[in-house]
Amino acid sequence: MGTADDGALWPTRYLTGGQLVVARSPRREPGPAPSWARLRDAVVRLDWLDAIGRWWLRLSGEQKLVLGLALFLSTAGIGLVVPLAGVAVHQQRREKADSSALPMSSSAQAALAAWDTTEARVAAAASRAWAETVREPAWHSPFLAHSRAAFDGQAEVDQVVDLALRIRQARVSLGLRPAGPAAEYWDRQAAALETAARQLGRRADALIRYRDQAAQLSAELRQLTDLERLERSAAEIDGLTVDTASPSGRGDGGIGGVAEDIAAVRMAMTELVDLMTRTRAPLAEPPDGARYQV
């Protein structure tokens, strides 16, 4: 009986140099902070405001009530802004200090690759496929100019990796298989995650097929280059034959046959570009994110 992976490409195309490598685009660095953010950061740096916040937090509830009422009556409420701002500054500083004290973990991609589950292999296959695609001469040729403008393959890889990370996180949350009646429910959840990971493999397969077609187009381009060179050579040979021909006739240098071969290769390349467009068509449809929810 066949399996869901019959005909799938990713199970044999996920290793890069013998290793499982997941390559996602680096997260974009945030742009310049807006004016309000710069103002907030400037306020947070005010030590005297932080001191007021710490002093206010040390007061008892009754003291805060009496002082707050006095400030409200004497300043029409404006005076309350200072201690409240001090509390906010103090809390902001504490949160920043806590976050900076957290140990730096390895990248999510590296953790996913180390996990070596189905979703990790799918993400690695997608990463490898696109890396190989952009190295193909055909990808940089005029024949794929429209594809380069219309198809962001790296964004597709990023989406596969992001979904794979979600599946991995769901596996982590699921934990180890329990004993007793809960085991059956755990089995269903684990099976649902595995199904989601294999469904994600279809997107990796589309990228792999696109890569293979780009490699085929590169081969056709090399053949076209050779044929065009032979066409120019044949034209030169034909001219020499005319100049040196005996009265009995002239040669042709084979230019007619080369021209026919060039036309055939160009036709094959056009058909291949059309095929590549159809191959990436499923990737243009956003995946159903609900399928990867557990």
Write out pLDDT tens, residues 218-267: 988 888 888 777 777 766 666 666 666 545 444 454 556 667 777 777 78
Lowest mean pLDDT: which of 57-71, 114-128, 183-197, 199-213?
57-71
Whole-number Cα distances in Å, 27 to 23, 155, 159 = 12, 12, 13
Taking all residues of the chain, what is their mean pLDDT, rounded to a whole number? Answer: 78
**Global pTM value:** 0.60
State the pLDDT at residue 100: 46
State the pLDDT at residue 65: 84
Which residue pairs, CB below 8 angstroms and at least 24 apart, start in 251-257? Answer: 254/230, 255/231
Most confidently modeled of 21-30, 38-47, 199-208, 243-252?
Answer: 199-208
**What percent of the chain has a predicted confidence (pLDDT) above 90?**
27
State the pLDDT at residue 254: 54
Most confidently modeled of 41-50, 65-74, 194-203?
Answer: 194-203
Q: Does the pLDDT of residue 277 top 50, yes or no?
A: yes
Whole-number Cα distances in Å, 163 to 24, 114, 130, 159 = 12, 16, 17, 6
Torsion of CA 41, 46, 49, 51, to 10 degrees: 120
Q: Which comes out higher in pLDDT, residue 45 or 167? A: 167
**Cα-Cα-Cα-Cα dihedral sign, residues 140, 161, 208, 279:** negative
Alpha carbon distance 66, 205 (integer Å): 70
State the pLDDT at residue 43: 66
State the pLDDT at residue 266: 76
State the pLDDT at residue 292: 42
